[in-house]
């Protein structure tokens, strides 16, 4: 019996010489140019005016809170990173590769942290500048500042992602794919932690602020009398800016990892270069897309952003096709390595695969906007159900999420299958073309990050304007419009992020198979040598793996949402206490204790990081060592299938609930302070942990689990059929990993799910 990648010859090493090395150097230079553009955009943003003294003071409080949270989070994650760094040395393989993989694990984690911190740092300084531009009713200036802020983060994302991958290829040449596993794992692991922690922080503060402020006290969303308002604005930055920036960076890194691993097998040395050329083109077109985003008179901000996206994506498709035909040879026999005997034209196949990825991004942009935009029928239908109460708002929004997830999953599946068919029967080529579709999608990442960061910057700008009371009339309406646009762009970027996760996970699944083939060759074994190696879904162990993979997605989402509920309960109690104990707060004569709420959500969010993180790392270990590599393959398939549906459903439901609230607040169905408004606020509070905590965190979760599986696969093979095979040790590892999950979940479930007057919020909030 032969393995699924048996078309790949025994050698997994390719050489890079001459012109190919020059191309990698050019890619590295483009990466540096992207970082230079990020610096130029940053200078432009910081040169804008900051508005009134009151606006500056509020912005300064948000800056302090966001920096304090991320600094504490990085200290917590630093310990975890050092432990993983050491464990990577224990995995089988060449000593030089293991050292490089561990070092670049830290590089990937560091780059992910840097992108996240940069996103937070600049967003907390741009928000007040956008508010100041709106104060002067400067619509074009306000929108440009918000989008250029995202442009800084977008260019930093593509610059660091390309630079890291190019450096690894230049240093390790043919061994680069193995070292890049560590780079991608570091980026994905840190992004997942930042996504979970930041998501819990932002939504605990947001839910607590809404429930007490809007529903109980009937005061505006960002009323300065609400003690949770500063924490809410801080959360927008640590969750949406820092978390999403790190998330999209790791998507960038992991897709490159998958592309380079499979590229060396399918295309030889050219396969280590072309997957870098495509996103390098994307870095150039991203600059164009950022410059093209301009608000025109009488035109929706979303229309301006979408136009720039489509134009930059179209140019990227054309340039990628030109690059494919200029760089790649006309036959597979002319490639330096790879499969060698395929009848197709590498140039044409690569071009079509890249275009599939670009078209996928464009379709998801349209599809997500259709289900979440305030101008579209689905979200307006959800808003209309507010006339009959919160129950119908929740039912309609949940149903919208379920339906939209199907369409998005089908579109992603069609893209994957289309790239698969291009392979013409060669599985390794098909998987590489799927990875190339992922790199095509990466050409849009610079603009996508800018779109995502636009959302929280606009949201914060509106909050600062409302808290300061210095922006009124048309300026206030402008900020409301930008905030609604931001809600849609945030939803869109979540849809595209999960698409990258599926493409990367599918390609990484191919990498998983290639690693197994290599490990089996090293010990002189085949897939037929042990029943746990079976990949047939009818095999009970594989089917159990599929079920367990789906279960982990549900458990992870449940843990994240429950964590928000616990932390939000503490916020609700604290805000209520302050209103009750100090009547001067409602009268406007006393200042709320904003710092207490920030401290509560900081401690709670960091405490809640452990269980989801352990679940992501330990679950593949428990399944792989316990049930075998076949079951682990099923586990990955179940996680991908359930993950894409769950992530899109949560993101789109939450986005629709949020924008249905905006529709009511704009005066429809009774407007603010009506029963319809209360109903949409409740729907929004349900949707907050859906769209900004659990849903987005599933994206890096899928890739973390895939990368863990790729890393541990050789060890599973060695302990199963290698010269040192030891079933007892293998099962012991599985049992210990499973026990770690059980204990961490048990500890998490012991925490109270509600805070009452008899249970002070200051108890049990230590990290």
| Residue 5 pLDDT | 42
| Residue 547 pLDDT | 94
| Residue 738 pLDDT | 94
SS3 for 628-660, per residue?
CHHHHHHHHHHHHHHHHHHHHHHHHHHHHHHHH
Is 762 a residue whose pLDDT tops 60? no
Least confident range of 228-242, 581-595, 653-667, 717-731: 228-242
CA–CA dist 265, 432 (Å, integer): 8
Q: What's the gap between Cα 688 and its chain centre?
A: 16
Is 726 a residue whose pLDDT tops 90? no
Question: Confidence class of residue 546 from pLDDT cuts 50, 70 and 90?
Answer: very high
R_g of the chain, CA atoms, integer Å = 25
Q: What is the mean pLDDT of residues 706-733?
A: 86
Is 761 a residue whose pLDDT tops 90? no
Is 553 a residue whose pLDDT tops 90? yes
Tell me the CA end-to-end span of the chain in Å, nearest whole number. Answer: 52
Least confident range of 140-144, 218-222, 405-409: 218-222
CA–CA dist 668, 508 (Å, integer): 48
CA–CA dist 202, 150 (Å, integer): 19
DSSP codes joined into one string, 28-84: HHHHHHHHHHHHHHHHHHHTS----HHHHHHHHHHHHHHHHHHHHHHHHHHHHHHHH
| Residue 10 pLDDT | 35
Environment class of residue 364 by beta-carbon count within 10 Å: exposed (0-12), middle (13-18) or buried (19+)?
Answer: buried
CA–CA dist 487, 591 (Å, integer): 30
| Residue 760 pLDDT | 41
Least confident range of 62-71, 165-174, 549-558, 630-639: 62-71
Strand, coil or helix: what is 16?
coil
Is 519 a residue whose pLDDT tops 50? yes
| Residue 599 pLDDT | 81
What confidence tens digit (pLDDT) does each residue in 97-113 have?
778 888 888 898 888 88
Please, are residues 203 and 573 in contact by the beta-carbon 8 Å criterion? no
The pTM of this model reads: 0.82
Please, are residues 315 and 288 in contact by the beta-carbon 8 Å criterion? yes
Per-residue buried b or exposed e for 424-456, using 16+ beta carbons within 10 Å of the residue's own CB: eebbbbbbbbbbbbbbbbbbbbbbbbbbbbbbb
Is 724 a residue whose pLDDT tops 60? yes
Handedness of CA 166, 171, 177, 181 (dihedral sign): negative
| Residue 15 pLDDT | 62
What confidence tens digit (pLDDT) does each residue in 424-452 have?
878 888 888 988 898 888 888 888 888 87
| Residue 348 pLDDT | 92
DSSP codes joined into one string, 407-464: HHHHHHHHHHHHHHHHTTT-HHHHHHHHHHHHHHHHTTHHHHHHHHHHHHHHHHHHHH
Q: What is the mean pLDDT of residues 360-381?
A: 84
Question: Confidence class of residue 632 from pLDDT cuts 50, 70 and 90?
Answer: very high
Percent of the chain with pLDDT over 90: 12
Environment class of residue 382 by beta-carbon count within 10 Å: exposed (0-12), middle (13-18) or buried (19+)?
Answer: buried
Backbone phi, psi, residue 52, to 5°: -75, 170
Task: Please report how many Cα atoms fall inside a 13 Å half-sphere around the Cα of residue 362, on the Cβ side.
Answer: 20
Is 635 a residue whose pLDDT tops 90? yes
| Residue 580 pLDDT | 84
Q: What is the mean pLDDT of residues 221-239?
A: 75
Average pLDDT, the chain: 81
Please, are residues 135 and 51 in contact by the beta-carbon 8 Å criterion? yes
Q: What is the mean pLDDT of residues 497-509?
A: 79
What's the token pair of residue 648?
A: 């899109």
| Residue 766 pLDDT | 29
What confidence tens digit (pLDDT) does each residue in 636-686 have?
999 999 998 999 899 889 888 888 888 888 788 887 778 888 888 888 888
| Residue 296 pLDDT | 67
Sequence-distant (≥ 6) Cβ neighbours of residue 507 within 8 angstroms: 255, 258, 259, 262, 431, 432, 434, 435, 438
Nearest to 191 by CA among 115, 101, 85: 115
């Amino acid at each position: 019996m032969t393995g699924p990648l048996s078309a790949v010859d025994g050698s997994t090493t390719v050489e890079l010489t001459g012109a190919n090395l020059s191309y990698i150097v050019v890619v590295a230079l483009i990466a540096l140019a992207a970082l230079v553009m990020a610096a130029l955009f940053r200078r432009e943003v910081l040169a804008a005016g900051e508005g009134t003294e009151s606006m500056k003071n509020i912005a300064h409080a948000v800056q302090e809170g966001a920096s304090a949270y991320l600094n504490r989070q990085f200290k917590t994650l630093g310990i975890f990173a050092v432990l993983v760094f050491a464990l990577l040395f224990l995995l089988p393989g060449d000593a030089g590769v293991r050292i490089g993989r561990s070092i670049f694990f830290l590089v990937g984690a560091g780059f992910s942290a840097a992108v996240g911190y940069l996103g937070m740092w600049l967003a907390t300084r741009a928000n007040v500048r956008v508010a100041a531009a709106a104060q002067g009713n400067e619509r074009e200036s306000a929108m440009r500042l918000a989008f250029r802020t995202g442009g800084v983060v977008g260019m930093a994302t593509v610059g660091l992602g390309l630079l890291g991958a190019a450096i690894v290829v230049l240093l390790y040449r043919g061994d680069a794919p193995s070292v890049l596993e560590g780079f991608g794992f570091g980026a994905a692991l840190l992004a997942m932690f930042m996504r979970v922690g930041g998501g819990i922080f932002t939504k605990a503060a947001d839910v607590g602020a809404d429930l007490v402020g809007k529903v109980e006290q009937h005061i505006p969303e960002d009323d300065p009398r609400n003690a949770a308002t500063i924490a809410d604005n801080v959360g927008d930055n640590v969750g949406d800016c820092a978390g999403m920036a790190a998330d999209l960076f790791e998507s960038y890194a992991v897709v490159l990892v998958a592309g380079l691993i499979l590229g060396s097998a399918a295309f030889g040395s050219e396969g280590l270069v072309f997957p870098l050329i495509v996103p390098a083109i994307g870095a150039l077109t991203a600059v164009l897309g950022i410059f093209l985003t301009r608000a025109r008179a009488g035109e929706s901000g979303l229309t301006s952003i979408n136009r720039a996206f489509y134009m930059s994506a179209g140019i990227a498709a054309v340039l990628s096709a030109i690059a494919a035909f200029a760089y790649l040879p006309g036959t597979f026999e002319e490639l330096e390595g790879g499969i060698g005997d395929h009848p197709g034209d590498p140039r044409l196949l690569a071009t079509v695969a890249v275009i599939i990825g670009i078209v996928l991004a464009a379709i998801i942009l349209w599809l997500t906007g259709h289900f979440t935009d305030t101008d579209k029928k689905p979200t307006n239908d959800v808003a209309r159900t507010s006339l009959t109460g919160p129950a119908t708002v929740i039912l309609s929004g949940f149903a919208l999420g379920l339906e939209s997830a199907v369409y998005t999953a089908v579109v992603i599946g069609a893209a994957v299958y289309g790239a698969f068919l291009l392979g013409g029967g060669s599985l390794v080529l098909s998987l590489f073309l799927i990875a190339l579709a992922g790199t095509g999608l990466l050409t849009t990442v610079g603009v996508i990050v800018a779109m995502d960061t636009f959302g929280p910057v606009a949201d914060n700008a509106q909050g600062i304007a409302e808290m300061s009371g210095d922006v009124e009339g048309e300026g206030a309406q402008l900020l409301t419009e930008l905030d609604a646009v931001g809600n849609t762009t945030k939803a869109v970027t979540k849809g595209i992020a999960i698409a990258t996760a599926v493409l990367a996970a599918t390609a990484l699944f191919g990498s998983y198979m290639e690693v197994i083939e290599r490990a089996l060759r090293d010990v002189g074994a085949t897939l037929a040598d042990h029943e746990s190696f079976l990949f047939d879904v009818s095999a009970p162990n594989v089917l159990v793996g599929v079920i367990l993979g789906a279960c982990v997605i549900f458990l992870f989402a449940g843990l994240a949402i429950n964590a928000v509920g616990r932390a939000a309960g503490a916020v609700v109690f604290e805000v209520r206490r302050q209103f009750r104990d100090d009547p001067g707060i409602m009268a406007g004569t006393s200042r709320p204790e904003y710092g207490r709420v920030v401290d509560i959500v900081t401690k709670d969010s960091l405490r809640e990081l452990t269980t989801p993180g352990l679940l992501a790392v330990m679950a593949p270990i428990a399944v792989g060592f316990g049930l075998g590599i076949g079951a682990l393959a099923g586990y990955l398939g179940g996680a991908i299938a359930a993950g894409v549906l769950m992530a899109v459903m949560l993101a789109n439901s939450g986005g629709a609930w949020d924008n249905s609230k905006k529709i009511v607040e704009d005066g429809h169905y009774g407007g603010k302070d009506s029963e319809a408004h209360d109903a949409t606020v409740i729907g929004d509070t349900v949707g907050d942990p859906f769209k900004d905590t659990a849903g987005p965190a599933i994206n890096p979760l899928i890739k973390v689990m895939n990368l863990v599986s790729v890393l541990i696969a050789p060890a599973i093979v060695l302990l199963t059929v290698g010269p040192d095979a030891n079933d007892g040790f293998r099962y012991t590892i599985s049992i210990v990993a499973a026990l770690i999950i059980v204990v961490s979940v048990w500890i998490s479930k012991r925490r109270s799910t509600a805070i009452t007057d008899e249970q002070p919020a200051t108890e049990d909030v230590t990290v």
